[in-house]
Structures are given as C-alpha cells and as structure tokens.
Amino acid sequence: MTSVKVAVRVRPFNGREKNMSSRCIIEMQDNMTKITDPDSGKEKKFYFDYSYWSHDGYTEDSEGILSPNGPGSNYADQDKVFNDLGIGVLDNAWKGYHTCLFAYGQTGSGKSYSIVGYGKNEGIIPKACREIFERISDARAKPSNITEFQVTISMIEIYNEKVHDLFQPPNKREKAGLKVRENKGEVFVDGLKKVPVESYEEIEKQISIGTSNRTIASTNMNSTSSRAHTVTTITFKQTVMENGKPTNQKRSDINLVDLAGSERQSGTGATGERLKEGSNINKSLSFLGKCITVLAEKSTGKSKGKVVVPYRESQLTRILQNALGGNSKTSMIAALSPASVNYDETLSTLRYANQVKAIKNVAKINESAHD
C-alpha cells in the first residue's frame, strides 16, 4: 500500500493581483504550508509531501526561463518540480507500475504551468517525454540490451461530460463523444487513437496537435483558460527478447492530468451555455471530490464494511478509477494562488489536497511472462 503523494505549489502574483496591491497569504516552511485568513488573521497549517515556493526569489534569463535568483532563494523552478515528481513517475513506469499525476486548483492558479509549462519553462509532460527517450536510447546503446521499448501516446479532453479524442480535429469528432468501457477490470476509451512514437520530436509533434485541438472557451475569470479536463496518457512497454522471442513484458500507463478550474461557478458571471458547462465540469470534479472523500475515509478506517466509491458517476472518475483507488502510483499537485482575494478557493484547495493525502493505493507491477 502506498499513499497518494501530494505536492502544493504557490505561484507569483499575476498582473491583476499586483494592480490590486494584493497581500500574500501563503507561507511555507519545509513541508508546512500556512494560510492566513485576510479578515480575521486566523492561521491554518497543512503538511504535504512536497511544498513548492514559486512566489518570489526568481530571476528571468534572456530566454524567459525562471530560476532561483541566488543561493538565498527558495524559489522552486520547473527543474525542481520535475526532479521530484516527474522522475518519480518515470522510475515507477520503468518498474512496470501504472502512474498518474494530476493537477488541481482554481483557474489561473498554475496547473498548466506545472503540468505542461509555457515557452521555455517546460513543465512535467515535455520534460518527462525528453527523459523517456533519453533513457531508452541509453538502454539501447548497451551491448547487453535485450529489451525492446514501445511508446504510444493518446490525449483526451473531457468537456461537458463528453470524452473527445484530441488527435481528432473538432470537425471530425463524434458529437456524442467516445464511450468509456470496461473489460476485465480495465477501463478504456473505446475508439481512442493511440499513436506510436519513436522519438522526442515525434511525441512533441503529437502533443502540439492534441493541444491545438482542445476546446477553449472564455470565462470572465480567465479568457484563455480551458474549461475542460485534459488527460495525456503515455503507454510504455518493455519486452524482453530471447532468441528472437518475447519472454517477458512490462507495461505502464502514465496518466498526466490537467484538470479544469476547481472554482465554484457562482460569482464568476457564468450564464446560459457557460453555466451548463460549469455544472457538467463540476459533475466530474464534484464526483472526483466525492470519490476522494470515500477513499480517504476507507483508508483511515473511518468507514466500516463494504464501501461503494462512486466512480461510475462521472467520466473523469471512471477514467481515473485505477489511478484513484487501485492499481496505480499516484501523485497530485495542488496549485495555489498567493493572493488574499482568493482566500476561500485556496483554502478549499488545501483541504482537498489534505484529503487526497489519506488515500492509499495498491499498485502492482504489470508484467506478463511468455514461454
């Protein structure tokens, strides 16, 4: 049994927060994160596996890359986050475990920055893809190597409770979305394209195709932010060949999830279609929350007897079923805004992350022997 690993990361003020002369209500010390209620001054403390201070203490080089501005800085840059979370994901994939990393937080809190990155500040997905192909070419270069490696990628978007293949342009998609099915305990998206890739350049090309096919709808809070959940899955297979025959195979699904904004819809000016989207987005997110609550109670022994986890109630929880309560090594990054105006949302993200910490999974190595 391993617990879900939880990281929190606090970003710099954005332009709007700076203009409002916002106060920073987050403090971090080692693995402790403290949030201060801007009205009452009351403090609450939380403890996580990793706490990333990315609020200040950075410089930007000529390429736009952010890094610590000196030895006294505790600024956590993209390399730091990748070295903890991304490398852990890859090490587990190499052993044959399914892995999942998901980013949670309100719109504009830094989920996509950590998972995907912007410009030269590459996030976990591109860094992980580089590392996968570097490791493969190192392994292949060894004269003793008898392992064959196969990498495939798929990308989906869950929008309005419909599952869309991001390798399919929007005008060629099934309006009703793809069906999620189950076979021998394995959940899969029926008809989803899985593209084999042989190099970093190939996988990067696929990711940019997938990214450009996402649905972008504007909201009052953040005009370019996606209101959809994006799941990128890299399947990694290692086949041991002896005398031209496969003798053993290990398989790992690496799920990298950029969730839609967790903010409540009221107060964001959502109406009509947008409101409907909101309630559907919230359906997946609220069932994610419900599953997490049930799983956390189960792990801490609070609930006795047979517990039903409501995975089947939303597309997101069906797809993440294994990652949440089963055969997967899972981690979460909770993205935090530093600003006093976002106190309620940030506190709710911290509470959510605190529950996720209690979830325990039973991951097994996915291995099959041939003879």
Shortest Å distance, C-beta 10 to Mg ion: 16
Shortest Å distance, C-beta 335 to ligand ADP: 5
CA distances from 81 to 52, 113, 116 (A): 8, 11, 12
Which is catalytic among the residues 86, 96, 123, 261? 261
Q: How far apart are alpha carbons 254 and 302 in whole angstroms? A: 31
Comparing CB distances to Mg ion, the nearer of 115 and 151 is 115
Shortest Å distance, C-beta 212 to ligand ADP: 16
* Contact set for ligand ADP, span 172-231 (CB under 6 A): 225
The site map against ligand ADP for 300-339 (x = CB under 6 A) is -----------------------------------x----
The site map against ligand ADP for 103-122 (x = CB under 6 A) is --x-xxxxxxx----x----
Which is catalytic among the residues 80, 111, 283, 329? 111
Is 236 within 8 Å of 151 (Cβ atoms)?
yes
Is 200 within 8 Å of 133 (Cβ atoms)?
yes
Look up 261 and say whether it is catalytic.
Answer: yes
Q: How far apart are alpha carbons 338 and 136 in whole angstroms? A: 39
Shortest Å distance, C-beta 182 to ligand ADP: 30
| Binding interface with Mg ion (CB under 5 A) | 111-112
SS3 of 83-120: the string is: HHHHHHHHHHHHHCCCEEEEEECCCCCCHHHHHCEECC
CA distances from 133 to 50, 90, 116, 250 (A): 27, 11, 18, 17
Comparing CB distances to ligand ADP, the nearer of 2 and 211 is 211
Name the H helices within the chain.
15-19, 78-81, 87-95, 111-115, 124-141, 200-212, 272-299, 315-319, 321-325, 343-356
Q: How far apart are alpha carbons 64 and 56 in whole angstroms? A: 15
Under rule CB under 6 A, residue 68 binds ligand ADP: no
Give backbone dihedrals phi and psi of 198, rounded to 5 degrees, phi first: -110, -10
Shortest Å distance, C-beta 363 to ligand ADP: 27
Query: Of residues 2, 3, 14, 67, which one binds ligand ADP by CB under 6 A?
Result: 14
Active-site residues, by number, are: 108, 110-113, 258, 261
Binding site for ligand ADP (CB under 6 A): 9, 11-12, 14, 54, 66, 105, 107-113, 118, 225, 261, 335
